[in-house]
Amino acid sequence: MTAATETGHPSVLAKAVREGIFAGVISFLMFLLFVGIETYQDINNALVWRTRWGLLAIFVLVAAVGRFLTVGFIKPHLDQRKLAKAKSGVLEISESKSFFHRHFLKIALIFLLVYPFLSLLIVGKQGSLKYVDNFGIQILIYVMLAWGLNIVVGLAGLLDLGYVAFYAVGAYSYALLSSYFGFSFWLLLPMSGILAALWGVILGFPVLRLRGDYLAIVTLAFGEIIRLVLINWTDVTKGTFGISGIAKASFFGIWSFDTGSASSFVKAWGLSPSSVYYKIFLFYIILALCMLTAYVTIQLRRMPIGRAWEALREDEIACRSLGINTVTTKLTAFATGAMFGGFAGAFFATRQGFVSPESFVFLESAVILAIVVLGGMGSLTGIAIAAMVMVGGTEVLREMSFLKVVFGPDFTPELYRMLLFGLAMIIVMLFKPRGFVGSREPTAFLKERRAVSGSFTKEGHG
């Protein structure tokens, strides 16, 4: 029996062929109009259509062959593995965690610390601009934002659809205070966080009485209001033009990264001028900020306030019956999350050198929330991985110009990043409905620390 499934049992193969053909027919019918036919405007601006049989054939073939392989080979293989696992007993599996698995976090941190130099070594100065900036910094910003939102959504269970508002407050605080008063980055970084937290409290006060869907809608509205204020308060924010020429962060006031400055970092170290040093510096700043977020989150979870956040997510009424002031508890979660959003915003402003309301649209909030949900609400590791896959995936798509060969020269791969999000969402929700890392670590234990399965935790309703 085992040997038969390995080589492909005849009945299994027949079934696979049948299902493959079926999938092909279905996808043919489905894609016939979407893919097989394309409309366009000709020279006279008339709408005409042409066929794309080749592309349609690719779609149908992928579906048919994919189904054939899944049913014929992948599924029997997986079943067999499950069987083998069941035979060998559950205990053994948890014992035999690989070295990589056990030391995953340390390895990841070490990798991140050497990452800029690694990329310098491998692809040189010009090449590493892309790897440090587009991949490294970009991903880490989203990691930080998602970790910040995780406090609100993942721990306290408050569905906030307007998180980007605090990101915007942080970014504009830095941009305005730096260009009007010339304060330095190192002064404005904490200030932006505090201002964002203040906004969190101000917005939170009226909003946090609402629960569930109502809270989600009102936070969404507040996010949009902040953006509209930024657009329309042209005297201060310069409206849609945005604020440009924002000061760069300095090396703790010792060296500057401006070219031509007297205390230039490049001159001080006798290096040839390149913007890569500044990028590497920024990389370490955002890495440190991420670590700060993670550290504070981990510490707060063990504090009474963090435990109250999680209890709030589980059952708000029970919380009140135990004498917990749910309003202030929610407010602290909101403010703490907002503060990290503010830090990230200030960093974003100094990295871009330019802020405009364009950067703070609802889609950003949705992406950050999607990362939190995909990663597994409450889990820092899961969220970091989700951010890497999602944001890194977007950047990778940008690189995939070879797809133009398949889909024609008009194809811009990065426009399909939402497709990537959708796909990732569907896959994760199908196989891991609680997100990538669905379990939660208890914050206290008597005998042994055992992860709590995601099937017991709740998402919160307010």
Position among 56, 151, 175, 311 found at the interface with another protein (CB under 8 A)? 311
Position among 104, 125, 231, 315 found at the interface with another protein (CB under 8 A)? 315
Q: What's the closest the beta carbon of residue 153 comes to another protein, in angstroms? A: 15
Q: What's the closest the beta carbon of residue 387 comes to another protein, in angstroms? A: 23
Unique residue bearing structure tokens 């609400």: 377
Q: What's the closest the beta carbon of residue 448 comes to another protein, in angstroms? A: 6
Q: What's the closest the beta carbon of residue 53 comes to another protein, in angstroms? A: 53
Q: What's the closest the beta carbon of residue 204 comes to another protein, in angstroms? A: 17
93 scored as a contact of another protein (CB under 8 A): no
Using the contact rule CB under 8 A, the part of the chain among 107-115, 212-220, 250-258, 313-321 near another protein is 313-321
In DSSP terms, 48 is beta-bridged to 40
Position among 228, 303, 406, 423 found at the interface with another protein (CB under 8 A)? 303
- Helix and strand tally (H, E) in the chain? 21, 4
Position among 33, 46, 430, 446 found at the interface with another protein (CB under 8 A)? 446
Cβ atoms within 10 Å, residue 156: 29
Angle 138-150/380-399 helices, nearest 10 degrees? 150
401 scored as a contact of another protein (CB under 8 A): no
| Comparison of 70 and 326: residue with beta carbon closer to another protein | 326
152 scored as a contact of another protein (CB under 8 A): no
334 membership: H or E segment, kind and range: helix 326-352
304 scored as a contact of another protein (CB under 8 A): yes
**Taking a C-beta distance cutoff of 8 angstroms, is the pair 443, 301 a contact?**
yes
Indicate the SS3 state at residue 401.
coil
313 scored as a contact of another protein (CB under 8 A): yes
Using the contact rule CB under 8 A, the part of the chain among 53-61, 76-84, 204-212, 444-452 near another protein is 444-452
Three-state SS sequence of 198-241:
HHHHHHHHHHCCCCHHHHHHHHHHHHHHHHHHHHHCHHHHCHHH
**Alpha-carbon span 360 to 65, nearest angstrom:** 42
Position among 139, 297, 440, 462 found at the interface with another protein (CB under 8 A)? 440
Cβ atoms within 10 Å, residue 330: 25
- The amino acid at residue 33 is L
Position among 310, 349, 364, 421 found at the interface with another protein (CB under 8 A)? 310
Using the contact rule CB under 8 A, the part of the chain among 63-71, 186-194, 400-408, 452-460 near another protein is 452-460
299 scored as a contact of another protein (CB under 8 A): yes
Distances (CA, A) of 111 to 154, 285, 384, 452: 27, 16, 14, 29
Using the contact rule CB under 8 A, the part of the chain among 28-36, 254-262, 263-271, 314-322 near another protein is 314-322
Using the contact rule CB under 8 A, the part of the chain among 10-18, 279-287, 405-413, 451-459 near another protein is 451-459
Q: What's the closest the beta carbon of residue 173 comes to another protein, in angstroms? A: 24
Q: How does strand 47-51 pair with strand 37-41?
A: antiparallel
Using the contact rule CB under 8 A, the part of the chain among 109-117, 193-201, 346-354, 449-457 near another protein is 449-457
9 scored as a contact of another protein (CB under 8 A): no
Cβ atoms within 10 Å, residue 184: 13
Angle 326-352/276-302 helices, nearest 10 degrees? 170
- Which string of DSSP letters, residue by residue, matches 24-69? HHHHHHHHHHHTSEEEEE-TTS-EEEEE-HHHHHHHHHHHHHHHHH
209 scored as a contact of another protein (CB under 8 A): no
**Alpha-carbon span 360 to 227, nearest angstrom:** 7
Q: What's the closest the beta carbon of residue 443 comes to another protein, in angstroms? A: 6
355 membership: H or E segment, kind and range: strand 354-355
Q: What's the closest the beta carbon of residue 351 comes to another protein, in angstroms? A: 29
| Comparison of 60 and 377: residue with beta carbon closer to another protein | 377
Residues in contact with another protein, counted by CB under 8 A, come to a total of 38
Q: Is the dihedral of CA 15, 21, 22, 23 positive or negative?
A: positive
Position among 202, 221, 318, 427 found at the interface with another protein (CB under 8 A)? 318
**The two structure tokens encoding residue 86:** 């069941």
Indicate the SS3 state at residue 98.
coil
453 scored as a contact of another protein (CB under 8 A): yes
Q: What's the closest the beta carbon of residue 214 comes to another protein, in angstroms? A: 20
**Alpha-carbon span 130 to 124, nearest angstrom:** 11
| Comparison of 381 and 443: residue with beta carbon closer to another protein | 443
Using the contact rule CB under 8 A, the part of the chain among 8-16, 40-48, 270-278, 305-313 near another protein is 305-313
Residues at the interface with another protein (CB under 8 A): 299-300, 303-305, 307-308, 310-311, 313-315, 317-326, 440, 442-450, 452-453, 455-458
